[in-house]
Amino acid sequence: MSSPLSRDEVAKVAKLARLRITDAELEQFTEQLGQILEHANDMTSLNLAEVEPTGHPFGLINVMREDEVRPSLDRDAVLSQAPDAFEGRFGVPRIMGEAP
C-alpha cells in the first residue's frame, strides 16, 4: 500500500515544528501519519453534500467577556519559572532573524 504521505513531507512538517527526528522515526511517523490520513480519507467515500460544515460541536457563536481588568500574575513568581531572567525580562538566546 502506498502511503498518502511522503517521507519528505513528514520531514518538512517536523522541521516546521522544530522537531529533530531520526531516520527510523521518520519511517515510523510517515507510516503512522499516513494511517491517520487514510482514516480521514474514509470520509470522502460518504455522501456529505447535505451536511453543513461544523466549526464547533454545539454551534456556539460570540463567546465573549467584558473588557474588565483582572489581576495579573506576580512577576517574581513568573520569572522564577524561567530558565533565565534579567531586569524583569525573560532572557532568551540571541535572536538572529527578524520576527515574521
Q: Does 94 bind other proteins (CB under 8 A)?
A: yes
φ/ψ (deg, to 5) at 41: -65, -25
CA dihedral 43, 46, 49, 50 (to 10 degrees): -100
> Candidates 19-27, 30-38, 42-50, 55-63 — which segment interacts with other proteins by CB under 8 A?
55-63
> Candidates 19-27, 32-40, 41-49, 76-84 — which segment interacts with other proteins by CB under 8 A?
76-84
Instruction: Give the closest residue to 27 by CA, choosing from 53, 47, 52, 3.
Output: 3
36/43 Cα distance (integer angstroms): 12
Q: Does 89 bind other proteins (CB under 8 A)?
A: yes
Binding footprint of other proteins on the chain (CB under 8 A): 12, 16, 18, 55-56, 60-73, 75, 78-79, 84, 86-95, 97-100
